[in-house]
C-alpha cells in the first residue's frame, strides 16, 4: 500500500466546526463527569458546541430535552429512573420529528454488549465510550447532528459479531444481511480506522463511508428478528 | 466426683462462651464443648458423664439439658485431648478448628460404650417391676429424640460446612429413623398401659389436637417462615455487598493510593489506571466465579488475544484496545499466530505507542483467523528492516509462514503501522 499524504486533512473538521454551531444537552448522573465534558467541549468559540442544558436523571432529561430542543443529546446509558433507553423511549416523537430532529449519541463508561445494543436498538445514532478524547467527541457530535451514525471500534465489533453467524436460514436477506461493502467498512472501524482513513483505504468518499455506516445502523434497528435475536438470546441479553 | 459437681455450676463468662463442638463429636458435642471450655481433656468429661449416668441416670439428664440449651459452635476443645482421635488445623480465617481423623470409628466406639453403660444402668436400676416395663419404650423415645436433635445440629452445621448431595439422603433417613423410634416408644407406652384396645380412639384424639394446633399456629408459622426467608435474602444481599466492598477495597482503593503516591509519574499512573479498569470490568461483567483465579492457559482465540493485550499493556504502559469478533478453540497453528500477534503488540507498544492507543482486532470467520495490530506511531517501511532485526522477521513473519499462515506489514494511510496476520485453523478430522 502506498503512503498517503495526510497534510490538510487534519485541519478540516476544526475549520468546519468553527463555522457551524450545534446545541447539545448533557445527560449524565455524575455531576463531575458533566462538568468535565462541559470543560472539554463547551468552549463554544473553539469547538462550535454549545451546551444548552444538563440533566441527571430520566425525568429531568425528558423535561430539559423537550424545553430546549437540542440538536444532539449526549446520553449516559445508566441513569436513575430507567436508564438511557427510557429517555429514548419517551423522546421518540422528538427524535422522529422531521422538521427538527433531536439526535442521541450514547456516551457511556460501559462497553458491555447489552448496554451498547440496547441503546442502539432504542434509537441512539451512535455509541462512544467515556475514554474518548475531546476532539473525537466533538467530531462525533457533528457527525450525529448531520444524521450519520458514529461507531466506536467496539460497537463495530459487536455488530459484526451479531451479523457474523451466516449459518442462519437466509430470510429477508435484503433487510437483515450486511452487504460485503458494509462488512468491510465495519471491519475497518473495528480495526481502529477513522472514517477518513477508511475512505482512503477503500478508494471511496467519506460520504459513502458514512452512508454505509448509516445503513448498518438502520439494519441494526430493524433486524429485530433472525441473527440479532438469536445472538442476543445466545448471550442471554433478552 | 468434684469435677462433675463443678461442671453444671460453671457460669459461662461472656468472653469465653460455652459452645457445643460440632467437630469430632460423638453424640451432641457437649463433652467436647465443656472440655474446651474448662480446659480439660475430653475423655475426663466423658468419663464424668458416664459415671453420673450410673448415678440414677443423672448424667444422661445433664447431658440432655446441655444439649438442649447450649448452642452449637465451631471448635471448643483445647490442646489437651488425646491426639489419636482428633487434631487441630488452623482455618484460613484464623479460627482454630478441630478435625476428626476417624470419626466413624469414634462414633462406633461411643455407641458401644453407651450401650454397655445403659446395660449396667438397667441392671442397677431397681424400681418397682411395674415401672420397669416402661423402661424400654422410654429408652426408645430418648434414642429417637437424640437422633433427631443431632440431625438438627447437622442441618445447622451444613450452613458452615459444605455438605454433599450424598449426605442429604442420609439426613432424611436419620430423621425418619428418629421419628420412627419416638413413635414406637410412645406407642409402646400406650400398649403397655393396657389401653391397646383404645389405641384407635387415642390416635384420633391426638390427630384432632394436632389439627387444632396446626389451625391455630399455622398462620404464625407461615408468617415466621416468610420472615425467615426474607431475612435470609437480606443477609445474602448484605454478603454480596460486603464482597463488592471487599473487592473495591482490595483493588480499587489500593490502586488509588498507588496513584496518589505516583502522581508525578504520568506513565505509571496511566498504567495503573488501565490495569485497574480492566480488572474491575472483568470482575463486573463476567459471570461469577470467573476472572478471579484463572491461572491456567487460555483455551480460545479471544481469550488469548485479550490476555496477551492485557499483559503487553501492563508491561509497556501503552493502552491497547481490543475488539474480538467470533471465537474458536486454540490449536497449534492459532497458538503460533497468537505468539506472533503478541510480538506485534509489543512492537506497536514500543515503537508506536506515542501516537495513542494500539488497536487490536481479531476475527474468526469460518476457518480463517485474522488478527490485525495497528499503531499510530511514526510508521515504518517493511523493506528497510535491517537484517539483524530479528523481532519482526523471525518472530512475526517467519513464525506465521512456518505454520502455514501469512503476515503482512504495511503503513496505514493516516500514519502508523499495521500488522495483519492470517491463519487457517487446523483441519478437524
A106-129 confidence digits (pLDDT tens): 888 777 777 777 788 888 888 888
Nearest CB among B325, B411, B415 relative to A157 is that of: B325
Q: Test B363 with A1 for CB contact under 8 angstroms.
A: no
B117 forms bridges with which residues in the sheet?
none
Domains in chain A: ranges and CATH: 22-164 (3.40.50.2300), 173-235 (1.10.10.10)
- Check pLDDT > 50 for residue B78: no
A12 touches chain B (CB under 8 A): no
pLDDT for B104 equals 53
Instruction: Name the interface residues of B facing A (CB cutoff 8 Å).
Output: 285, 321, 323-326, 357, 359, 361, 363, 365, 372, 374, 379, 410-415, 418
**Dihedral of alpha carbons B339, B342, B347, B348, sign:** positive
pLDDT for A164 equals 66
- Check pLDDT > 90 for residue B131: no
**Dihedral of alpha carbons B138, B140, B144, B147, sign:** positive
Q: Suggest the residue from A9, A192, A202 to mutate for an interface test with chain B (most B CBs closer than 10 A).
A: A192
Question: Which chain A residue is nearest to residue B365, measuring alpha carbons?
Answer: A164
Residues in A touching B411 (Cβ below 8 Å): 1, 3
Q: Test B414 with A153 for CB contact under 8 angstroms.
A: no
Q: Nearest-CA distance from A71 to chain B in Å? A: 30
Q: Test A191 with B410 for CB contact under 8 angstroms.
A: no
- Check pLDDT > 60 for residue B97: no
Is pLDDT larger for residue B11 or for residue B190? Answer: B190
What span, in angstroms and rounded, lies between the C-alpha atoms of A44 and A53? 14
Locate the domains of chain B by residue range.
Answer: 198-286, 299-424
Grid cell digits, residue B124: 442397677
ipTM of the complex: 0.72
Phi, psi (deg, nearest 5) at residue B416: 105, 175
A53 forms bridges with which residues in the sheet?
A25
What span, in angstroms and rounded, lies between the C-alpha atoms of A135 and B415? 18
Nearest CB among B372, B374, B411 relative to A1 is that of: B411
A80 touches chain B (CB under 8 A): no
Phi, psi (deg, nearest 5) at residue A101: -70, 140
- Check pLDDT > 50 for residue B151: yes
What span, in angstroms and rounded, lies between the C-alpha atoms of B340 and B318? 18
- B366-406 pLDDT, tens digit each: 888 999 998 887 766 666 666 556 667 777 888 888 888 88
pLDDT band at residue A229 under the 50/70/90 scheme = low
- Percent of chain B beyond pLDDT 90? 4
The arithmetic mean of pLDDT across residues B139-148, rounded, is 78
- Check pLDDT > 50 for residue B214: yes
- Check pLDDT > 80 for residue A50: yes
Q: Suggest the residue from B323, B328, B353, B422 to mutate for an interface test with chain A (most A CBs closer than 10 A).
A: B323
pLDDT band at residue A194 under the 50/70/90 scheme = confident
Is pLDDT larger for residue A167 or for residue A181? Answer: A181
Matching residue, cell 390427630: B207
Q: Test A200 with B410 for CB contact under 8 angstroms.
A: no
Q: Nearest-CA distance from A89 to chain B in Å? A: 25
What span, in angstroms and rounded, lies between the C-alpha atoms of B321 and A132? 12
A67 touches chain B (CB under 8 A): no
The arithmetic mean of pLDDT across residues A168-197, rounded, is 75
List of residues 6+ apart from A30 with CB closer than 8 A? A76
CATH 3.30.70.100 describes domain B299-424: no
Q: Test B413 with A3 for CB contact under 8 angstroms.
A: yes
Residues in A touching B418 (Cβ below 8 Å): 191
Residues in A touching B374 (Cβ below 8 Å): 191-192
Span of B75-84, B297-306, B343-352 with lowest mean pLDDT? B75-84
DSSP state of B253: I
Q: Test B363 with A192 for CB contact under 8 angstroms.
A: no
Is pLDDT larger for residue B256 or for residue B96? Answer: B256
pLDDT for A223 equals 56
β-pairing, B406-411 vs B20-21, is unpaired
Grid cell digits, residue A192: 481502529
Per the CB < 8 A criterion, the answer to whether A105 and A149 are in contact is: no
Phi, psi (deg, nearest 5) at residue B85: -95, -35
Q: Nearest-CA distance from B379 to chain A in Å? A: 10
Matching residue, cell 434509537: A123
Question: Which chain A residue is nearest to residue B380, measuring alpha carbons?
Answer: A3
Grid cell digits, residue A226: 433472525
- B268-324 pLDDT, tens digit each: 888 888 888 888 877 777 655 444 444 567 788 888 998 889 888 888 878 888 888
DSSP state of A77: S
The arithmetic mean of pLDDT across residues B68-95, rounded, is 50
Q: Test A157 with B324 for CB contact under 8 angstroms.
A: yes
The arithmetic mean of pLDDT across residues B196-200, rounded, is 70
DSSP state of B264: T
Average pLDDT, chain B: 74
Is pLDDT larger for residue B58 or for residue A34? Answer: A34
Q: Test A190 with B325 for CB contact under 8 angstroms.
A: yes
Is pLDDT larger for residue B362 or for residue B201? Answer: B362
Nearest CB among A164, A191, A197 relative to B361 is that of: A191
DSSP codes joined into one string, B373-415: EE--SS---GGG--TT-HIIIIIIIIHHHHTT-EEEEEEPTTS
Q: Nearest-CA distance from A16 to chain B in Å? A: 20
Nearest CB among B323, B326, B418 relative to A164 is that of: B326
DSSP state of B28: S
- B220-251 pLDDT, tens digit each: 888 888 899 999 999 988 888 887 777 777 77
Amino acid at each position: 500500500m502506498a503512503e498517503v499524504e495526510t497534510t490538510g486533512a487534519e485541519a478540516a473538521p476544526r475549520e468546519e466546526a468553527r463555522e457551524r454551531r450545534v446545541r447539545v444537552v448533557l445527560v449524565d448522573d455524575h455531576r463531575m463527569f458533566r462538568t468535565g465534558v462541559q470543560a472539554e467541549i463547551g468552549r463554544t468559540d473553539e469547538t462550535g458546541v454549545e451546551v444548552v442544558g444538563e440533566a441527571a436523571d430520566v425525568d429531568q432529561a425528558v423535561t430539559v430535552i423537550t424545553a430546549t430542543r437540542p440538536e444532539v443529546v449526549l446520553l449516559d446509558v445508566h441513569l436513575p429512573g430507567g436508564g438511557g433507553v427510557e429517555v429514548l423511549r419517551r423522546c421518540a416523537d422528538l427524535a422522529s420529528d422531521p422538521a427538527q430532529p433531536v439526535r442521541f449519541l450514547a456516551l457511556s463508561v460501559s462497553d458491555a454488549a447489552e448496554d451498547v445494543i440496547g441503546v442502539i436498538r432504542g434509537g441512539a445514532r451512535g455509541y462512544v465510550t467515556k475514554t474518548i478524547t475531546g476532539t473525537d467527541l466533538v467530531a462525533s457530535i457533528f457527525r450525529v447532528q448531520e444524521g450519520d451514525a458514529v461507531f466506536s471500534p467496539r460497537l463495530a465489533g459487536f455488530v459484526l459479531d451479531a451479523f457474523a453467524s451466516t449459518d442462519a436460514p437466509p430470510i429477508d436477506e435484503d433487510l437483515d444481511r450486511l452487504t460485503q461493502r458494509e462488512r468491510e467498512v465495519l471491519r475497518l472501524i473495528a480495526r481502529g480506522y477513522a472514517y477518513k482513513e477508511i475512505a482512503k483505504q477503500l478508494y471511496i468518499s467519506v460520504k459513502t463511508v458514512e452512508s454505509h455506516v448509516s445503513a448498518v445502523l438502520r439494519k441494526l434497528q430493524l433486524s429485530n428478528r433472525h441473527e440479532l435475536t438469536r445472538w442476543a438470546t445466545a448471550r442471554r441479553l433478552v | 466426683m468434684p469435677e462433675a459437681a463443678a461442671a453444671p455450676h460453671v457460669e459461662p463468662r461472656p468472653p469465653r462462651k460455652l459452645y457445643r463442638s460440632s467437630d469430632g463429636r460423638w453424640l451432641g458435642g457437649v463433652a467436647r464443648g465443656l472440655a474446651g471450655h474448662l480446659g480439660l481433656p475430653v475423655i475426663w468429661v466423658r468419663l464424668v458423664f458416664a459415671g453420673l449416668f450410673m448415678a440414677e441416670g443423672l448424667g444422661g439428664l445433664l447431658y440432655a439439658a446441655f444439649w438442649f440449651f447450649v448452642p452449637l459452635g465451631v471448635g471448643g476443645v483445647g490442646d489437651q485431648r488425646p491426639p489419636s482421635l482428633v487434631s487441630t488445623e488452623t482455618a484460613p480465617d484464623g479460627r482454630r478448628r478441630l478435625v476428626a481423623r476417624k470419626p466413624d470409628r469414634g462414633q462406633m466406639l461411643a455407641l458401644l460404650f453407651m450401650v454397655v453403660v445403659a446395660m449396667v444402668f438397667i441392671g442397677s436400676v431397681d424400681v418397682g417391676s411395674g415401672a420397669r416395663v416402661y423402661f424400654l419404650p422410654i429408652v426408645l423415645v430418648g434414642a429417637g429424640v437424640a437422633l433427631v436433635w443431632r440431625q438438627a445440629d447437622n442441618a445447622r452445621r451444613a450452613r458452615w460446612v459444605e455438605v454433599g448431595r450424598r449426605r442429604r439422603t442420609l439426613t432424611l433417613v436419620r430423621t425418619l429413623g428418629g421419628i420412627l423410634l419416638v413413635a414406637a416408644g410412645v406407642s409402646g407406652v400406650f400398649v403397655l398401659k393396657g389401653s391397646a384396645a383404645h389405641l384407635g380412639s387415642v390416635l384420633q384424639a391426638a390427630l384432632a389436637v394436632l389439627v387444632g394446633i396446626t389451625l391455630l399456629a399455622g398462620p404464625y408459622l407461615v408468617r415466621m417462615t416468610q420472615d425467615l426467608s426474607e431475612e435470609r435474602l437480606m443477609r445474602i444481599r448484605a454478603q454480596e455487598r460486603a464482597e463488592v466492598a471487599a473487592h473495591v477495597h482490595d483493588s480499587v482503593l489500593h490502586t488509588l493510593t498507588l496513584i496518589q503516591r505516583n502522581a508525578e509519574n504520568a506513565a505509571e499512573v496511566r498504567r495503573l489506571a488501565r490495569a485497574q479498569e480492566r480488572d474491575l470490568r472483568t470482575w463486573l461483567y463476567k459471570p461469577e466465579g470467573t476472572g478471579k483465579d484463572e491461572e491456567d492457559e487460555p483455551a480460545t482465540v479471544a481469550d488469548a488475544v485479550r490476555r496477551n493485550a492485557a499483559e503487553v499493556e501492563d508491561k509497556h504502559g501503552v493502552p491497547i484496545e481490543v475488539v474480538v469478533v467470533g471465537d474458536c478453540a486454540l490449536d497449534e497453528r492459532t497458538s503460533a499466530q497468537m505468539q506472533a500477534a503478541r510480538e506485534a503488540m509489543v512492537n506497536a507498544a514500543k515503537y508506536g505507542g506515542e501516537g495513542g492507543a494500539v488497536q487490536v482486532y481479531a476475527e474468526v470467520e469460518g476457518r480463517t483467523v485474522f488478527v490485525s495490530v495497528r499503531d499510530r506511531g511514526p510508521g515504518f517501511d517493511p523493506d528497510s528492516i535491517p537484517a539483524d532485526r530479528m523481532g519482526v522477521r523471525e518472530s512475526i513473519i517467519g513464525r506465521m509462514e512456518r505454520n502455514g499462515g501469512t503476515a503482512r506489514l504495511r503503513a496505514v494511510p493516516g500514519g502508523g503501522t499495521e500488522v495483519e496476520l492470517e491463519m487457517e485453523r487446523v483441519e478437524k478430522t
